[in-house]
Chains A and B, each alone.
Chain A
């Protein structure tokens, strides 16, 4: 069954604003990953946060993880039109377990 659930399903903002997407999951995880998918393309890995980490940064991306609430958030600061894409969280229980993806948040950044 599906593990991650992102919200909102869709988000529309103006260039320069920050975008926040949330992901909730149900079972214990080893790590959580965020991916971006541009229209008509494959998913691209953005950032991985391990279960013993609370926050991680990569450029304009900031990811937080709250294992007590089983939730994660992805913040994109100073958004650009090129950030327009769908963003997916994926949970990893570790070992040879499969990576399970949520349904994604569709982000539109208007110029």
Chain B
């Protein structure tokens, strides 16, 4: 019954590894996002997709690559992980942004790079 679900909840890995985080929403929303929350709780957008098309791509290293196989899924693949990638990554979804549709967030994936 979870509206926005992301897996895994925790991810511990070593520097240099490649990892993926998956996200799925069953709300019928057209737009999905990835946000990164650092240790000081600052939440910053990374990517936004609308109907499988990339619409927002913030200044994020090329090691981060989102993939949207369909409008209900938005996965995040990270290559060559670095210590600074440690953070909580949140997936979110909304209706089209026009009109100020609120975001619905998943419960986050805590990534720890050692």
B100 touches A50 (CB 8 A): yes
Query: How many A residues are at the interface, by size bracket?
Result: 20 to 34
Tell me which of B40, B103, B108 has the highest count of chain A C-beta atoms within 10 A of its own C-beta: B103
User: Which chain B residues numbered 39 to 96 have a C-beta less than 8 Å away from chain A?
Assistant: 40-45, 48, 50, 55-56, 58, 90, 92
Q: Chain B's nearest CB lies how many Å from the CB of A16?
A: 27
Q: Of all chain A residues, which has the CB nearest B55?
A: A96
Counting chain B CB atoms within 10 Å of each CB, the highest count among A30, A86, A96, A106 belongs to A96
- B1 on interface, CB distance cutoff 8 Å: no
Assess whether A43 is interfacial by the CB under 8 Å rule.
yes
Q: Is the CB of B41 within 8 A of A43?
A: no
Question: Total A-B pairs in contact (CB under 8 Å)?
Answer: 63
B103's partner among A30, A40, A99 (CB-CB below 8 A) is: A99
The interface size bin for chain B is 20 to 34
- Taking a contact as CB atoms closer than 8 A, the residue among B56, B90, B98 that contacts A43 in the complex is B90
Q: Roughly how many angstroms separate A104 CA and B45 CA in the complex, as a whole number?
A: 15
Q: Quick check: A45 and B103 within 8 Å, CB to CB?
A: yes
Interface-central residue, A31, A35, A42, A98, by most chain B CB under 10 Å: A42
The listed residue (A41, A96, A97, A101) touching B43 by CB distance below 8 A is A101
Instruction: Check if B100 sits within 8 Å of A103, measured CB to CB.
Output: no
- B residues engaging A (CB < 8 A)? 4, 35, 40-45, 48, 50, 55-56, 58, 90, 92, 97-98, 100, 102-108
Chain A residues packing against B (C-beta within 8 Å): 2, 30-31, 33, 35, 37, 40-45, 48, 50, 86, 88, 92, 94-101, 103-104, 106
Q: Pull 11 A–B residue pairs with CB atoms less than 8 Å apart, ordered by A.
A: A43-B90, A43-B92, A48-B102, A50-B100, A95-B98, A98-B58, A99-B45, A99-B103, A100-B45, A101-B42, A103-B42
